[in-house]
A = this chain, B = another copy of it.
């Protein structure tokens, strides 16, 4: 088994170092190989996703990804900006199913913006389709408008689209995930306005016929954005498209107050996957040893579970993370009065010790 390690930019290398420490202590049989990605790869090789990095990702059984992006690349043409690496990996690896759990750790309930009673025990799973929608639809670009409000004016445009098999496969993923949880799926669409999401709703409803034991409801995206704030615990599994999923999964993660704790997985049809923390590259604190490595460590646990078939090793990591939280150790992002503030490395060491 081979794991591609892509640390990336900003706090990426620091948090990745802790995840590697944790993986090493488990004494499992796999090889790890590191490659640059994002801004770091642009600096080293002139492209955010160099051929060699993509090749490594393609031939590995799983990819552990840190974070990419820095303001200093804002002026680059879009194709060379760090985020393109992540879009390129998703597309080339066929990672269509993004799992974004939003969990509120009992030790961290107070860290949420929401009142504690609304988030205590929160455990929802957002499943975002990741290789379709307006992210990749063609045609797109700039042109002269031929109709609309200002014919003759310069305009920019993109194409939103979903095909039946794309919707079917992500719907199956959602219903199957719900079977392992509370057996409820909320499909989020905008069927009242968009052709794409009327079709989405129709196809999800058809696939649901194969899962009579799972409850399905449909919700408009604007309403979902509200209900997440009002009563997040009413959700179990939420399934939606790439664009709506981008927005709602971040909203849901932030609701928990501990985005520094949340892992994510992006899977292909064979459960090969890319695993990364839900937070970004935080260039403002990079290199200072302040970043919370737990989301990356928990991403490594997800990787062991989903792609490397090592559920016991994954459980050991998860238990160790619970233990360090219960010991009162906190990085700055989740620190509160009465707990012990630690840096990135101390947090990683504590997880290793707990294992």
Contacts and interface: CB of A to CB of B under 8 A. Distances in A.
Interface string A171-197: 000000000000000000010111111
A195 B229 contact: no
A83 interface: yes
Nearest to A87: B193
Given A115-B115, A140-B195, A142-B195, A155 B150 contact: no
Number of copies: 2
A139 to B, nearest CB: 9
A15 to B, nearest CB: 19
Nearest to A194: B158
Contact of A250 (B136, B226, B246): B226
A271 to B, nearest CB: 18
Contacts of A131: 149
Interface string A302-315: 00000000000000
Contact of A192 (B78, B154, B229, B230): B78
Given A150-B165, A193-B135, A251 B230 contact: no
13 contacts: A78-B198, A81-B192, A113-B229, A115-B115, A142-B195, A142-B199, A148-B163, A150-B163, A153-B166, A155-B164, A156-B161, A222-B246, A228-B251
Interface of A: 78, 81, 83, 87, 113-115, 118, 131-132, 134-138, 140-142, 145, 147-150, 153-166, 190, 192-200, 221-223, 225-226, 228-230, 243-244, 246-251, 253-255, 259
